[in-house]
Amino acid sequence: MPEVEPITGRYMKVSIKAKEHRIFVEEAGQGIPLICLHTAGADSRQYRHLMNDGEVTNRFRVICFDMPWHGRSDPPAGWWLQAYELTTEDYLAAIEAVWRALGVERPVFMGCSMGGAIVLRIASDFQNEIRGVVGLESAAYAPGRYNEFLHHPAVHGGELVATYTWGLNAPHSPEAGKRDNWWYYAQSGPGVYRGDVMFYSFDFDAREHIRGIDTSKCKVSLLTGSYDYSCTPAMTEAVVKEIPGCRYTEMENIGHFPMIENYELFRTYLMPELDFMAAD
């Protein structure tokens, strides 16, 4: 008999800043809503192990969606007339639009890399409406990742982006996990990773916003891999210093993509934070 995974997926028509978008959403489990945000240039397949983890899904309704232009979501009508460049404002608008369309109350948001960055703004902007955030590889300010070859006519974009991000994995991580992430990145649309990195390196700066996060209203847990040189542990520690009551753990022998590069090790760090999020 075939093994059928407990993940269901569907498309939603969502209005984001007065533009219609066709967004792919997948989920598994029941309980506390846990909305997961993928990394730059990738898609929600990075969370497939989480959505297949019964110890998680028996308490959490794990919801993952592909951002516009990413994975199985479509770009908006007329996409060929513009270059894709993500801004903080657009990112927050997309997340809020999907969240409101789903109709879930007091969710937990978990994001990695650019998703780990934007959850800091979510915690700041929506702290009265959410249960908490789990930031994976979270920085409030992370310049330096951009380079001009991320979308260049002389370079194979898919292989460049996939290999550029390969180096962010820990050497200890299983090759199968790292290869899965490579494959997802290789399928990114032309210029999409570049557009995300423009947000990450140039547009995003939450250093002032994080000072207003009240952890008595919105729980904050941060997890950063010891081998991450895009968002180093020191960069996350700088965030922790500005948020009283924030929880932080450096994940030994993990890189920038914990949920896909080495899920079995990652879950040993994640489970205590999910317990914390679930506690009243």
Stretch 70-94: mean pLDDT, rounded?
96
The pLDDT value recorded for residue 191 is 93
The pLDDT value recorded for residue 192 is 94
CA distance 129 to 217: 9
The pLDDT value recorded for residue 91 is 98
Task: Give Cα 94 to chain centroid, integer Å.
Answer: 13
Q: Which residues pair with 180 in a beta bridge?
A: none
pLDDT digit string (tens) for 111-156? 999 999 999 999 999 999 999 999 999 999 998 887 777 787 777 7
Kindly tell me if the per-residue pLDDT of 253 is higher than 90: yes
pLDDT band, very low/low/confident/very high, at 16 (cuts 50, 70, 90): very high
CA distance 151 to 174: 29
The pLDDT value recorded for residue 133 is 98
Stretch 77-93: mean pLDDT, rounded?
96
Q: What are phi and psi of 64, to 5 degrees?
A: -125, 140
Kindly tell me if the per-residue pLDDT of 157 is higher than 80: no
CA distance 139 to 127: 18
Set out the domains of the chain in order of their start, with CATH numbers: 8-278 (3.40.50.1820)
Contact 96, 88 (CB under 8 A): no
pLDDT digit string (tens) for 55-75? 999 999 999 999 999 999 999
Radius of gyration of the chain (CA): 17
Stretch 30-37: mean pLDDT, rounded?
98
The per-residue DSSP string of 154-211 comes to TS-HHHHHHHHHHTTS-TTS-HHHHHHHHHHHHTPPTTHHHHHHHIIIII---TTGGG
Taking the alpha carbons of 154, 156, 161, 166 in that order, is the dihedral positive or negative? Answer: negative
pLDDT digit string (tens) for 194-250? 999 999 999 999 999 999 999 999 999 999 999 999 999 999 999 999 999 999 999
